[in-house]
Amino acid sequence: MVEQATDEIVHHVASLPKQPLHATGGMKALARSLREPLPETGAEYTQLLHTLFSKLIPRSFNTASPGYLAYIPGGGLLHSAVADLISLAVNRYVSVWVAAPGLAQLEQNVVRWCCEIVGYVGAPTPGGLLVSGGSMANLLAIVTARASICGEEFSRAVIYTSDQAHHSVLKAARFAGFRADQVRVIGTDEHFRIDVRALEGAITADASAKREPMMIVASAGTTNTGAVDDLQAVTALAKKKRLWVHVDAAYGGFFALTERGRGVLRGLERADTITLDPHKGLFLPYGTGCLVVRDADRLRRAHAMQAAYLPPMQEDAELVDFCDLGPELSRDFRGLRVWLPIKMHGAQAFREALDEKLDLASAARDEIAAMPNMQIVAEPALSLFAFRLGPGCGKDGAALDAHNRKLLQIINGRQRAFVTGTTTPVGFVIRVCVLSFRTHADRMEMLLEDVRYACKRLRVS
């Protein structure tokens, strides 16, 4: 079974650059055709593989392609797939340290590496845990802040975030028991960063009204425009007002491996908690997120729970029971999928790849800015930028938005680069996010050619 599956996988990965970037037409009919009751008898394995690799996997977004510049790419580094095959096959349990001490230590090493990357080296008790992604990490951060600051009574607590924050922040606040009126959504500046002056005003107003300002959720690479909040100013304000700071750095955090990234992210190391997504900035498969904290004891106090059927938890801070740091008791061994590629290649390989993405985004931004009637709406703070045809093309308002939607459709229709759009205060824009280890200068040149082609089709000159 493993050999046959490997043959299919190798062929699939080798052909990725030539595969369509999106093939989702007629998907409702396909989905309906797959509905079936519980099978009573088995099917032949080779035929099942054929169904997967020939009929189902191709009918999707090709998220592992070098041309995938949409949303926030997840690279799907194959080393992690091999690691998951090992971890799932041996099926060891790592949530309780005593059940697999060596494997638990490997996962703890991964968390410590993440702490080192974001600058938590000088913190007294840094730690964290691997989770399914940024949404779960944001939820655990809010729960930890609530437990640390408010305890059981948080009916007057207030959370502050920006209007560009990921929607998972609002969802996490709801799941953590906060009402909608306990979340303040603060406006942003011309660079789509949280308005720190407005933020301070809102905190002061809430305190005067006998509410209890609790935490700020800042962004280090928003999904809409790639904006990075002024983390130095936000953390300084939080210290002054005695608020918890969480930074959602799911997209941008691992750029701290690079010199340029550290400059953009200055102040990140002062946050109390940070969301990171190895399935973004380390190019790993989807389902690999991380929450790191300056003080792991805060995480433990917020989540630890005892039961008679569990073995005693570790009292030594160096020996971590991951079940004490989050809501999951049963979970897969996530650490190996991060540990294996980093051990095989070293941090320098990832650093160089991230530097390349910064270069590619900057160069593409400059080329597009030089095209007639093009407007860069969001500059690349890291490797994501947004652009559109501006009013100079002879249209405005809804007509201009429709024109840019057509531009997007033509670009994607060529099946060489896949980009997505979003809405900003200036209107509809096209986003480019460079974050795949497979994306290099040749593919970015294809994108530029396709943007020029689309403009020509729309008779923009």
Q: Which of 137, 390, 457 is nearest to 287 (CA)?
A: 137
Torsion, Cα of 387, 388, 392, 395 (10° steps): -160
Amino acid 34: pLDDT: 94
Amino acid 459: pLDDT: 84
Alpha helices, DSSP H, located in 20-91: 27-34, 45-50, 78-90
Amino acid 461: pLDDT: 60
**What CA–CA distances, in Å, run from 34 to 13, 29, 39, 51?**
25, 9, 13, 11
d(CA 418, CA 433): 10
What DSSP string describes 184-213?
EEE-B-TTS-B-HHHHHHHHHHHHHTT-EE
* Secondary structure (3-state) at 152: coil
Q: Which of 99, 79, 114, 133 is nearest to 336 (CA)?
A: 79
Q: Which residues pair with 84 in a beta bridge?
A: none
Amino acid 265: pLDDT: 98
Amino acid 300: pLDDT: 95
Considering the entire predicted model, what is its pTM? 0.97
Q: Identify the burial level of 179 via C-beta atoms within 10 angstroms of its C-beta, where 0-12 means exposed, 13-18 middle and 19 or more buried.
A: exposed
Q: What is the maximum alpha-carbon separation in the chain? A: 73
CB of 280 closer than 8 Å to CB of 163? no
**Mean pLDDT, consecutive 10-residue segments, the chain of 461 residues?**
97 94 91 96 97 95 96 94 97 96 97 98 91 98 98 97 98 98 98 98 98 98 98 98 98 98 98 98 97 96 93 87 96 97 98 98 98 97 97 91 97 98 96 98 98 92 60
What DSSP string describes 254-301?
GGGGSHHHHHHTTTGGG-SEEEE-HHHHT-PPSS-EEEEESBHHHHHH
Burial annotation 26-41 (CB, 10 A radius, 16+ → b, else e): eeeeeeeeeeeeeeee
d(CA 355, CA 404): 30
- Could you give all domains of the chain from N- to C-terminal order, each with its CATH number? 84-346 (3.40.640.10), 348-457 (3.90.1150.170)
Alpha helices, DSSP H, located in 54-209: 78-90, 101-118, 134-149, 167-175, 196-208
Q: Identify the burial level of 64 via C-beta atoms within 10 angstroms of its C-beta, where 0-12 means exposed, 13-18 middle and 19 or more buried.
A: buried
